[in-house]
A and B are shown apart, each in its own frame.
Chain A
Amino acid sequence: MRRWLYDPKIRALAAQILTILAIGLFAGWIVHNTVHNLTVRGIASGFGFLHNPAGFGILQTLIDYRETDTFARVFVIGLLNTLLVAALGIVFATVLGFLVGIGRLAENALIRGLSALYVETFRNVPPLLQIFFWYFAVLRAMPSPRQSHEFLGAFFLNIRGLYVPRPIPAEGFVPTLLALGIALVSAFALSRWARRRQERTGEPFPTGRATLLLLIGLPLAARLIFGAPFTWELPQLQGFNFRGGWVLLPELVALTLALSLYTAAFIAETVRSGIQSVPRGQIEAAIALGLTPRQRLRLIVLPQAMRVIIPPLTSQYLNLTKNSSLGAAIGYPDLVGLFAGTVLNQTGQAIETIAMTMAVYLLISLSISLVMNWYNRRMALVER
């Protein structure tokens, strides 16, 4: 008996069995309670409700939607709205974050100071507060459509949102798109050929300039031959409101603005530490080899810095996507606000709606972290 008690193998097995047993019992208790509570309250469980008509309007829908459509379609609309704000936020946050991050390492003391001020201000204030500030204090305080703020005669900002010109495909649309495709493919082929030739003969080829020429030149030529790819429909004041163009809701603008500014502060720190992680000796070696400042940046600093930057950068993107759920607090119809909020209240299907919402976020997080693990393995320094 004593021997058994002190046998590490048996103890390990016992610990695991006990853990699983405890978790199983706990889960069973919860399931039992839930089933009981649901029957007492007369809530039918299951996903049947998804086929029922929703019967309410939605502020912003990227696909066609009528009130008679099903809850399943509402789910898709919420998901698309979440993805829209996440995509917009990621683009703006990346651009701004890289600018500020590089600014923090600038030679210019003024730029350095302003960048530091930006980072410290925006990352130390809760994102929800920033969203509320832009929404309630700025955008809801905008004038009525008649007194809109006007930019360049094409953008109008008022209490109903931001009105922007809408592109309408014209006769030159297909040719320009084709030209762009051809340019992309040939730029790719060109860079492969250039690299091979450089490896073989050592002769460099101005790939960057050639690619730029292709990407701008071909579509431009198509445009000149076949006509403009788009005509722009400008928003116009008619009576009390604007007609035409695209309207970006104040909720969307506030959310995008707040998330971009908040996340950019974190991205800036990521970029700064990535660039600083490149050892000074690498740059000195590059100088000793006679590389120009641009070559140093492109061939030595950036590839090594990006290796450090990309993993935390993706986790910032993930954070931004998760933070986009805060839009629910100002009524932006994202997945959480629309599905875990409105649909839950309408149907009372708490478990199903919240489980579906969480599953979406989990799926996004897990797939991104799988990709990240693969990337890390590929990029890990291969040492002798």
Chain B
Amino acid sequence: MSSSPSLRPPVVRVDALRWLRENLFSGPINTALTLVALYLLWRFVPPVLGWLFFDATWQGSSRADCHPGGACWIFIGQRFGQFLYGFYPAEERWRVNLAALSIILLAVPLFFSRLPQRRRWAIGYFLFTPVLVWWLLYGAGILGLPTVSTDQWGGLMLTLVIAAVGIAGALPLGILLALGRRSQLPAIKIVCITFIEFWRGVPLITVLFMSSVMLPLFLPEQMSIDKLVRALIAVILFEAAYLAEVVRGGLQAIPKGQYEAAHALGLSYWQSMGLVILPQALRLVIPGIVNTFIALFKDTSLVIIIGLADFFTTVHRATVAPEWLGFSTEGYVFAAFVYFLFCFGMSRYSIALEKRLARSEKR
């Protein structure tokens, strides 16, 4: 090959004026849209920012310190402990903190991919942490920790408990349902389809109603279940149906050759699913599972219907309490911000995962 004189690439100057012209003022319609949008921004952004930050009251101890015209964040500050822990006794709140800390710290080694025995650590983590957290939160008098009954649980802590238990319980059930739906055995297939379509067809609120009103009727007289456990059962059954559909998507994406190869190797049904199909299928649907978890996290707010004091309920109750009446906007904006942080963070994580998966598929 003869070498031709190499040309420099043309210099593209990115200057602000040019960017403005191309993106905002490229034609009459575009210019009009830009002007309308700018007008709206100019109309709404300064007052909103003023209310949120500049005219807001940040320091003080009662509603008398709030000056009008801006948000009064004293309200949030005063009730912050309640928003986090509900009516969990103040002198026992260290247990909630310790539980949260241990969940995070014990998970740290899982993120080092070169850790020896990482798999064993993971199994131990998922078996041991729930027991530890349950003991820390509930106590039950074991090792001298006094019992804190579940009707004292509340706030963000209860929201996280419902979401975490919900997903942890729903995932195994969802996987089984998804496998059942693709089963060759007609009876099992019909049972699974009926189960999935039933829960997917009704709103969560009716399921919660059912768990609080009908479940006591379904059980023997002497057996009474905790209100929180009833809500958890409802959430698990409901989310399992949605997760089953997510997992089914993954199962369908695995090429038929994989099933046939596992079969040809003489693996049994459970071996081929557990060793060949599910590891691949589940990896494909991690983003879908995260999205279901986001939906579940938002849905936890519905437990207000059956009188559990989760984060949203605690905020709502604080806004209707007489001493802070009239500050509902502050309360709801704060609650929305917290939910947004969690959901938006998780959705970014899901997108990043999707990208990483797409990259590893290409190799």
List residues of chain A with CB under 8 Å of any chain B CB. Answer: 12, 15-17, 19-20, 23, 30, 33-34, 36-38, 40, 106-111, 114, 120-121, 123-130, 132-133, 136-137, 141, 322-323, 325-326, 328-329, 336, 340, 344, 350-351, 354, 357-358, 361-362, 364-366
List residues of chain B with CB under 8 Å of any chain A CB. Answer: 23-24, 26, 30, 33-34, 37-38, 184-188, 191, 197-198, 200-206, 209-210, 213-214, 216-221, 294, 298-299, 301-302, 304-305, 312, 316, 319-320, 328-329, 332, 335-336, 339-340, 343-344, 347
A-B contact count (CB 8 A): 151
Q: Beyond A38-B217, A109-B24, A124-B347, is A129–B336 a contact (Cβ under 8 Å)?
A: yes
Q: Beyond A36-B221, A107-B23, is A126–B206 a contact (Cβ under 8 Å)?
A: no
Per the bound structure, the CA–CA distance linking A362 and B186 in Å amounts to 23
Which residues of chain A have C-beta atoms less than 8 A from B30's C-beta? 107-108
Task: Assess the B201–A19 pair: CB atoms within 8 A.
Answer: no
Smallest Cβ distance from B213 to chain A, in angstroms? Answer: 4
Task: Assess the A323–B203 pair: CB atoms within 8 A.
Answer: yes
Q: Beyond A108-B23, A110-B34, A111-B37, is A33–B218 a contact (Cβ under 8 Å)?
A: yes
| 8 Å CB contact of A34 from B33, B218, B320 | B218
Smallest Cβ distance from A78 to chain B, in angstroms? Answer: 13
Q: Beyond A111-B37, A129-B335, is A358–B206 a contact (Cβ under 8 Å)?
A: yes
Task: Assess the A126–B304 pair: CB atoms within 8 A.
Answer: no
Q: Whose C-beta in chain A lies nearest to the C-beta of B192?
A: A19
| Besides A124-B339, A133-B332, 9 new A-B residue pairs in contact (Cβ under 8 A), listed by A number | A110-B33, A129-B335, A322-B203, A326-B203, A326-B302, A336-B203, A336-B209, A357-B206, A362-B198
Which residues of chain B have C-beta atoms less than 8 A from A19's C-beta? 187-188, 191
Q: Pick from B198, B217, B302 the residue with the most CB of A within 10 Å.
A: B217
List 24 contacting pairs A-B, 8 Å CB cutoff, sorted by A: A16-B185, A20-B191, A23-B191, A33-B219, A109-B23, A110-B23, A111-B37, A114-B37, A124-B294, A125-B298, A125-B336, A128-B302, A128-B312, A129-B335, A129-B336, A136-B332, A326-B302, A336-B209, A340-B209, A344-B213, A354-B210, A354-B214, A358-B201, A362-B198
Q: Which 7 A-B pairs have the closest CB atoms?
A: A365-B201, A16-B187, A124-B343, A109-B23, A126-B298, A322-B203, A362-B201
Which residues of chain A have C-beta atoms less than 8 A from B200's C-beta? 365
Per the bound structure, the CA–CA distance linking A354 and B210 in Å amounts to 7
Per the bound structure, the CA–CA distance linking A128 and B34 in Å amounts to 33
Task: Assess the B203–A12 pair: CB atoms within 8 A.
Answer: no
Which residues of chain A have C-beta atoms less than 8 A from B340's C-beta? 121, 124-125
Which residues of chain B have C-beta atoms less than 8 A from A141's C-beta? 328
Q: Whose C-beta in chain A lies nearest to the C-beta of B335?
A: A129
Which residues of chain B have C-beta atoms less than 8 A from A30's C-beta? 218
Per the bound structure, the CA–CA distance linking A326 and B298 in Å amounts to 13
Per the bound structure, the CA–CA distance linking A110 and B39 in Å amounts to 12
Which residues of chain B have C-beta atoms less than 8 A from A362's C-beta? 198, 201-202
Task: Assess the B319–A325 pair: CB atoms within 8 A.
Answer: no
Q: Whose C-beta in chain B lies nearest to the C-beta of A344?
A: B213
Per the bound structure, the CA–CA distance linking A123 and B347 in Å amounts to 11
Task: Assess the A137–B328 pair: CB atoms within 8 A.
Answer: yes
Which residues of chain A have C-beta atoms less than 8 A from B220's C-beta? 33, 36
Q: Whose C-beta in chain B lies nearest to the C-beta of A13?
A: B185
Q: Whose C-beta in chain B lies nearest to the C-beta of A38?
A: B217
| 8 Å CB contact of A128 from B217, B294, B304 | B304
Task: Assess the A108–B24 pair: CB atoms within 8 A.
Answer: yes
Per the bound structure, the CA–CA distance linking A127 and B295 in Å amounts to 10
Per the bound structure, the CA–CA distance linking A357 and B207 in Å amounts to 11
Q: Whose C-beta in chain A lies nearest to the C-beta of B37?
A: A110
Q: Beyond A358-B202, A365-B200, is A125–B218 a contact (Cβ under 8 Å)?
A: no
Q: Whose C-beta in chain A lies nearest to the C-beta of B326?
A: A141
Which residues of chain B have C-beta atoms less than 8 A from A111's C-beta? 33-34, 37
Which residues of chain A have C-beta atoms less than 8 A from B26's C-beta? 107-108
Q: Pick from A128, A323, A350, A362 the residue with the most CB of B within 10 Å.
A: A128
Which residues of chain B have C-beta atoms less than 8 A from A322's C-beta? 202-204
Q: Whose C-beta in chain B lies nearest to the C-beta of A341?
A: B209
Per the bound structure, the CA–CA distance linking A358 and B185 in Å amounts to 29
Smallest Cβ distance from A110 to chain B, in angstroms? Answer: 5
Which residues of chain A have C-beta atoms less than 8 A from B319's C-beta? 136
| 8 Å CB contact of A350 from B186, B214, B329 | B214
Which residues of chain A have C-beta atoms less than 8 A from B204's C-beta? 322
Smallest Cβ distance from B358 to chain A, in angstroms? Answer: 15
Task: Assess the A132–B316 pair: CB atoms within 8 A.
Answer: yes
Per the bound structure, the CA–CA distance linking A137 and B320 in Å amounts to 11
Per the bound structure, the CA–CA distance linking A40 and B216 in Å amounts to 13
Smallest Cβ distance from A119 to chain B, in angstroms? Answer: 11
Smallest Cβ distance from A383 to chain B, in angstroms? Answer: 19
Smallest Cβ distance from B244 to chain A, in angstroms? Answer: 15
Task: Assess the A16–B186 pair: CB atoms within 8 A.
Answer: yes
Which residues of chain A have C-beta atoms less than 8 A from B316's C-beta? 132, 136
| 8 Å CB contact of B209 from A109, A121, A354, A366 | A354
Smallest Cβ distance from A333 to chain B, in angstroms? Answer: 15
Task: Assess the A351–B206 pair: CB atoms within 8 A.
Answer: no
Task: Assess the A366–B197 pair: CB atoms within 8 A.
Answer: yes
Task: Assess the B37–A350 pair: CB atoms within 8 A.
Answer: no
Which residues of chain B have C-beta atoms less than 8 A from A17's C-beta? 187
Which residues of chain A have C-beta atoms less than 8 A from B216's C-beta? 37
Per the bound structure, the CA–CA distance linking A323 and B202 in Å amounts to 10
Per the bound structure, the CA–CA distance linking A323 and B203 in Å amounts to 7
Which residues of chain A have C-beta atoms less than 8 A from B312's C-beta? 126, 128-129, 132
Task: Assess the B221–A40 pair: CB atoms within 8 A.
Answer: yes
Smallest Cβ distance from A17 to chain B, in angstroms? Answer: 8
Task: Assess the B213–A354 pair: CB atoms within 8 A.
Answer: yes
Smallest Cβ distance from B298 to chain A, in angstroms? Answer: 4
Which residues of chain A have C-beta atoms less than 8 A from B347's C-beta? 124
| 8 Å CB contact of B203 from A120, A121, A325, A344 | A325
